[in-house]
Amino acid sequence: MSPERFPVSLDVEGQVATLTANEAHMEIPLAGEFEEACTKLLDTGQPAMVIDFMQVRTIQSCLIGEVAKTKVIAHDAQRKLKLVTNPKIGEIFRMILNDLVEIEIRD
């Protein structure tokens, strides 16, 4: 059995839910599955959420849009969403979304 592409994990004590993208290339065929994972992340009810894109090397625009949509939904519910990613993907998000999504760059 292959590992889950977009697992959502909980740190109940720290009140953080994390969605981890285990795909290097975030492309249109993954959009539906990624949208479901974002919904699952929101459904955790945690006040703080993280989308971990450290393994992502390329991303198509519809998946960037899904991150933005998830951020807006979280914000409307007074919850926080942060994107943790590598410098390349972080720069793409900054160019497209400006400051809409909090981004933490890691090497």
Where do the domains of the chain lie? 8-105
The predicted model scores a pTM of 0.94
**Distance separating alpha carbons of residues 96 and 91, to the nearest angstrom:** 9
User: Kind of pairing, strands 80-85 and 25-26?
Assistant: unpaired
The first and second tokens of residue 55, run together, are 């393994």
pLDDT for the residue numbered 2: 61
Give the total residue count for the chain: 107
| Distance (Å, whole) CA 41 – CA 32 | 14
CA dihedral sign of residues 90, 13, 40, 71: negative
Q: Which CATH class is domain 8-105?
A: alpha beta
Q: Which residues contact 99 (CB under 8 A, 6 or more apart)?
A: none
As a dihedral over the C-alpha atoms of residue 4, residue 56, residue 78, residue 8, rounded to 10 degrees, the angle is: 10
Per-residue pLDDT tens, the chain, 107 aa: give them. 567 999 999 998 889 999 999 999 999 999 999 999 999 999 999 999 999 999 999 999 999 999 999 999 999 999 999 999 999 999 999 999 988 999 999 99
